[in-house]
Structure 1
């Protein structure tokens, strides 16, 4: 009977498991990068829309259009907060134990770091990165929904402006 494998060694893993772990690490890292890029583009979009709205702030608009437009600005601000949380670095903090990666390595002595480098932590890394990616995607999806709501409010404000008091 063979000894059970642990998540910290590659001695008994198969070549396909090694390939799958490597692929999973790269895939999750790429997804995190894509999410950050999308969030950055949406932050720029929010900034452009808010700048356009700021240029209309001194216009004499009907009160209902001002109220709905103000709600749209607050909605865009809420989406910007979510997008900032998407791109905010996750270094672990006090709320969770960091078991792998550069935040953990920074805490180790040189000897402990060398020991850590001898361990296969891909399973831990895939899980940790997947949790980070999932949180980023959820925030990104919520931010997009909020941006769509803000655009709907801006459409209502435009109609109210055209229709008048």
Structure 2
């Protein structure tokens, strides 16, 4: 792969793999954050005297956070049915792996890019759900402390 095309493909392949790793790291951090917010909200909700509007809004906020966690877990769930990467390589001989990688690097880049887009989309949805759930939890605290006046 000493040709410019080969070098370009190798660079693109590395870039896509790095983007998947960055997305997985962001997903892990957001999943930890969502877990901490859920635990904190449960603790605060248990300690505050809650009125009906605060309970309704708080439950909706918690549901959105649980939904965000579900989306995040979906994003990092291994896809063992995929036609590329580790699952495919596990069925090939060493010679077939070398041949597959040398001839199908562009196809692997395309497959990994699609995987990266799916992961990125899940992460984006989870961020949106987390923001909405957090806003509802803040509103629930305001309703609990200030009443439904």
Q: Do both proteins adopt the same fold according to a TM-score greater than 0.5, normalized to the shorter chain? A: yes
Where 1:34 maps in the other structure, the secondary structure is: helix
Contact 1:28 1:126 in 2 (8 A): yes
Match of 1:4 in 2: none
Q: Write out per-residue CA displacement over residues 103-123 of structure 1, whole angstroms, 9 at most, x where no aligned residue.
A: 112123x3xx41341342211
The CA distance in 2 between the partners of 1:36 and 1:115, in whole Å, is 29
Q: 1:63 aligns with which of 52, 61, 84?
A: 52
Following TM superposition, by how much is the alpha carbon of 1:102 offset from its aligned partner in structure 2, in angstroms?
2.2
Is it true that 1:107 corresponds to 2:91 in the alignment? yes
Greater percentage in helix: 2
Where 2:46 maps in the other structure, the secondary structure is: coil
* Structure 1 residue runs without a partner (length 5+): 1-9
How big is the alpha-carbon RMSD for the aligned residues of Structure 1 and Structure 2? 1.7
The CA distance in 2 between the partners of 1:115 and 1:163, in whole Å, is 68
* Structure 2 residue runs without a partner (length 5+): none
The CA distance in 2 between the partners of 1:116 and 1:35, in whole Å, is 26
Runs of 4 or more consecutive aligned structure 1 residues displaced over 4 Å after TM superposition: none
Following TM superposition, by how much is the alpha carbon of 1:18 offset from its aligned partner in structure 2, in angstroms?
0.8
Match of 1:21 in 2: 9
The CA distance in 2 between the partners of 1:115 and 1:77, in whole Å, is 43
Contact 2:67 2:129 in 1 (8 A): yes
Q: 1:146 aligns with which of 125, 129, 138?
A: 129
Where 2:130 maps in the other structure, the secondary structure is: helix
Deviates more, 1:114-123 or 1:144-153: 114-123
TM-score normalised by the chain length of structure 1 = 0.81
Match of 1:127 in 2: 110
